[in-house]
């Protein structure tokens, strides 16, 4: 092989090695930044929340956060990357003595979501929000047709989301909305007004498409069977044994 070709191959291999090393270094550095930049009760960084519960974690990088003195986060909440949490229309306002944004225990807010509290917003325990959810207690008004909408004074109304709800990707909750317990909001739905307990809503504006009642169950009926709950005290080894037994029972008819 000619000498110049050997030199070219060596340079190419060296460039590839450098790229791999740089790639590993970047990923390792980013993982370190994610760990070091996460906000918890022990490592709040510059953020001084009114309360931040045990086990709660705000992933790095955080989105816009201000008015944190009037924001209270319960225990074991998970706040994804680039989530905006704000209290008040702008930073450095005195909002009084009462909290403006309250998250219960075990609340999950997916990445790129926004929770904008110009009036009080409460989110109940164990409510999960998918990515890109938008919850706001303020909306622009458009009363005056001669003024730009963005320059007109907005309207505000409290928002209440009950415990155990699920808000799908891209869902929007508007001022004045009140969601009951265990409400499911479909992806992309726009919710306003009151939603009763155990309802599924979809559309823009959102409407009830399914509801559970003690006397009749789910109406319309669910199209898939409900999952069988795991019995209390069941170990992982026992579950594995049950799965293997089920596989054997499926094979027996074929072998017969």
Question: Per residue in 198-232, pLDDT tens?
Answer: 999 999 999 999 999 999 999 998 888 777 777 78
Rounded average pLDDT over 59-80: 95
From the list 54, 114, 140, 146, the catalytic residue is 140
Q: How far is it, in rounded angstroms, from Cα 220 to Cα 16?
A: 59
Q: Is the pLDDT of residue 254 over 80?
A: no
Instruction: Give the confidence band of 245 by pLDDT, cuts at 50, 70, 90.
Output: confident
pLDDT at 11: 65
pTM: 0.82
Q: Is the pLDDT of residue 34 over 90?
A: no
**Would you mind telling me the total number of residues written for the chain in this entry?**
256
Peptide bond into 95 cis (omega under 30): no
Residue with the two structure tokens 């807010």? 109
Backbone angle region of 82, left / alpha / beta, with phi > 0 → left and psi within -120 to 50 → alpha? left
Rounded average pLDDT over 112-132: 97
CB atoms within 10 A of CB 220: 9
Q: How far is it, in rounded angstroms, from Cα 208 to Cα 129?
A: 19
Q: Three-class SS of residue 117?
A: strand
pLDDT at 226: 72
- Which DSSP category does 131 fall into? T
Residues above pLDDT 90, as percent of the chain: 63
pLDDT at 255: 53
Strand duo 138-139 + 78-79: pairing: unpaired
Q: What is the pLDDT of residues 133-151, one digit of tens each?
A: 999 999 988 999 999 998 9
**C-beta separation of 49 from 69 below 8 A:** yes
Active site residue 198: no
Residue 67: exposure state from Cβ atoms within 10 A (0-12, 13-18, ≥19) = buried
Q: Is the pLDDT of residue 250 over 80?
A: no
CA neighbor of 131 nearest in space, from 83, 165, 169, 161: 169
Q: Show Cβ contacts of residue 114 under 8 Å, excluding neighbours closer than 6 positions.
A: 63, 83, 84, 133, 134, 135, 136
Instruction: Give the confidence band of 243 by pLDDT, cuts at 50, 70, 90.
Output: confident
Helix (H) or strand (E) holding 16: helix 3-37
Q: How far is it, in rounded angstroms, from Cα 126 to Cα 164?
A: 5
Displacement of CA 11 from its chain's centroid (Å): 47
Q: How far is it, in rounded angstroms, from Cα 69 to Cα 85?
A: 12
CA distances from 194 to 40, 135, 172 (A): 34, 15, 14
Residues above pLDDT 70, as percent of the chain: 93
């Amino acid at each position: 092989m000619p000498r110049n070709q050997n030199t070219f191959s060596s340079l190419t291999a060296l460039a590839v090695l450098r790229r791999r090393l740089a790639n590993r270094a970047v990923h390792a550095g980013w993982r370190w930044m994610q760990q070091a930049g996460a906000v918890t009760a022990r490592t709040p960084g510059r953020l001084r929340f009114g309360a931040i519960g045990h086990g709660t974690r705000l992933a790095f990088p955080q989105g816009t956060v201000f008015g944190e003195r009037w924001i209270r986060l319960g225990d074991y909440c998970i706040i994804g990357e680039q989530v905006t949490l704000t209290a008040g229309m702008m930073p450095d306002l005195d909002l009084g003595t009462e909290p403006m944004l309250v998250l219960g225990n075990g609340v999950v807010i997916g990445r790129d979501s926004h929770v904008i509290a110009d009036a009080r917003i409460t989110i109940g325990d164990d409510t999960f929000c998918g990515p890109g959810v938008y919850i706001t207690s303020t909306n622009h008004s458009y009363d005056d047709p001669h003024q730009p909408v963005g320059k007109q004074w907005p309207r505000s109304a409290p928002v209440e989301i009950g415990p155990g709800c699920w808000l799908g990707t891209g869902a929007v909750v508007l001022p004045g909305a009140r969601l009951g317990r265990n409400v499911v909001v479909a992806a992309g739905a726009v919710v306003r007004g009151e939603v009763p307990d155990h309802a599924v809503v979809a559309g823009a504006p959102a409407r009830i498409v399914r509801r559970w009642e003690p006397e009749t169950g789910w109406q319309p009926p669910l199209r898939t069977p409900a999952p069988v709950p795991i019995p209390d005290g069941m170990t992982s080894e026992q579950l594995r044994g049950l799965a293997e037994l089920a596989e054997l029972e499926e094979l027996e008819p074929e072998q017969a």
